[in-house]
């Protein structure tokens, strides 16, 4: 871990304050001057960071900052957390709302793209503002809280939409809310008869693992079935603290999945992904999705080639257990939804036979008659 972080905050990894999630949240690194005491960067990089911060906020938990290499500008942890001048480049193909969520929002804070499920955006705050976030232009409002009117509007919509059986709570990050406010929302959702599944989307296990407290888990257990998806993008994030947080979630009876983003020069190679995916499985976290980075403004430096993702899946298939292999998807621009993009194994289909290629490249025929 980066010892400069501990000296900056005058604490140690096992101190009571370091292990207190509220202390971590309160002491997030949000300014370039504080960041400069933890990692090294030159005057040009500082100017670029400050330019970025004039448009989009930065927030890095002391815990996540402690994982950064203080002298390596291409550290995979640092790249996810620290603003870069490359964010200032906006391509004509990029959008503020690349998934067109506003178009699919029948009422405030609800996105209803798929027939049987909705996305409920309950927060605009995160423990850390990931530089590759698809909602990067719409999160960071530290003063935003759902009003009573907005909550009622969202709950009324879900109640009236009887086809909705699955509600994904996201934001921002729902777990930066206190237990009481989160429980209020969960209890309202669980009272809706046709809502079978409640899911929580959070990056807390990776960037703020001390938020996974016994009181939080005891509260969540009251509203089962609850599923949770998190985001680990690099094996360096799988620290003892993160693995323990994942174990606590799973031990509470909450299935935990992971949704990685394919990020150029961070995880867009087979060996890095192999280590990450097998590490996740060992931590009892099921790799769920591998996302192609969205066409959000200022993210061109993060976007790897789609071919990289396809090649990674091809190289892993048959060589590690299928449990560890996520589905590679592109969340289609303009709200087309998630589209699987995987290696081609089915070569031809007719009424007589199926011609297939296996993971070794060998051809097999399956007769249909």
The per-residue pLDDT for range 164-206, each reduced to its tens digit, is 999 999 999 999 999 999 999 999 999 999 999 999 999 999 9
Burial level of 64, CB count in 10 A (0-12/13-18/19+)?
A: buried
- Three-state DSSP class for 205? helix
pLDDT of residue 8: 94
Which of 204, 206, 279 is CA-nearest to residue 242?
Answer: 206
Q: Which residues contact 247 (CB under 8 A, 6 or more apart)?
A: 283, 284
Name the burial class of residue 223, with classes exposed (0-12), middle (13-18) and buried (19+) by CB atoms within 10 angstroms of its CB: middle
Q: What's the pLDDT at 142?
A: 83
Tell whether the torsion through CA atoms of 114, 166, 154 and 131 is positive or negative: negative
- pTM score of the predicted model: 0.95
- Total count of residues recorded for the chain: 369
Per-residue confidence (pLDDT) for residue 141, from 0 to 100: 83
Identify the CATH assignment for 110-334 out of 3.30.70.1060, 3.40.50.300, 3.20.20.70, 3.40.50.880.
3.20.20.70
- Residue that has been written with the tokens 């490359």 in this structure: 86
CB-facing half-sphere around the CA of 16: CA atoms within 13 A: 0
**Residue 269 pLDDT:** 98
Query: Which residue from 32, 71, 17, 77 is spatially nearest to 207, judged by alpha carbons?
Result: 77
Supply the residues annotated as catalytic.
113-114, 117, 126, 130, 133, 135, 294, 331, 338
Sheet holding 110-114, edge to edge: 110-114, 117-121, 166-170, 197-201, 226-230, 256-262, 286-292, 327-332, 337-340
The residue ranges of every structural domain in the chain are 3-88, 110-334
> Rounded CA gap, 315 and 7, in Å?
43
Low-confidence ranges of the chain (pLDDT < 70): none
């Amino acid at each position: 871990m980066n010892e400069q972080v501990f000296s900056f905050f005058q604490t140690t990894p096992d101190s009571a304050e370091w292990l207190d999630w509220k202390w971590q949240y309160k002491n997030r690194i949000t300014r370039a001057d504080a960041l400069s005491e933890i990692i090294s960067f030159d005057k040009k990089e500082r100017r670029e960071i400050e330019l970025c911060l004039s448009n989009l906020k930065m927030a890095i938990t002391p815990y996540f900052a402690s994982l950064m290499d203080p002298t390596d500008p291409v550290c995979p942890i640092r790249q996810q957390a620290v603003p870069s001048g490359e964010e200032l480049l906006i391509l004509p193909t990029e959008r503020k709302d690349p998934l067109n969520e506003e178009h699919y929002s029948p009422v405030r804070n609800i996105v209803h793209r798929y027939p049987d499920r909705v996305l409920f955006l309950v927060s605009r705050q995160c423990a850390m503002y990931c530089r590759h976030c698809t909602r990067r232009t719409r999160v960071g409002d530290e003063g935003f809280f759902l009003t009573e009117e907005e909550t009622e509007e969202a709950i009324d919509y879900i109640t009236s939409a009887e086809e909705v059986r699955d509600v994904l709570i996201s934001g921002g990050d729902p777990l930066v809310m206190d237990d009481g406010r989160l429980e209020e929302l969960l209890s309202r959702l669980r009272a809706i008869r046709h809502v079978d599944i409640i899911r929580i989307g959070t990056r807390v296990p990776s960037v703020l693992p001390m938020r996974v407290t016994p009181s939080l888990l005891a509260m969540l257990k009251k509203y089962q079935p609850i599923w949770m998806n998190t985001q680990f993008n690099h094996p360096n994030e799988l620290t003892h603290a993160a693995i323990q947080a994942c174990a606590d979630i799973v031990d509470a009876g909450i299935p935990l999945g992971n949704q990685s983003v394919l990020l150029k020069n961070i995880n867009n190679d087979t060996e890095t992904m192999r280590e990450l995916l097998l590490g996740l499985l060992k931590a009892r976290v099921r790799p769920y999705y591998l996302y192609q980075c969205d066409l959000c403004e200022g993210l061109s430096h993060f976007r790897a080639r789609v071919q990289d993702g396809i090649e990674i899946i091809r190289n892993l298939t048959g060589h590690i257990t299928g449990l560890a292999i996520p589905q590679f998807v592109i969340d289609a621009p303009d709200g087309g939804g998630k589209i699987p993009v995987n290696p081609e194994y089915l070569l031809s289909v007719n009424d007589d036979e199926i011609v297939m290629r296996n993971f070794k490249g060998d051809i097999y025929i399956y007769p249909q008659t």
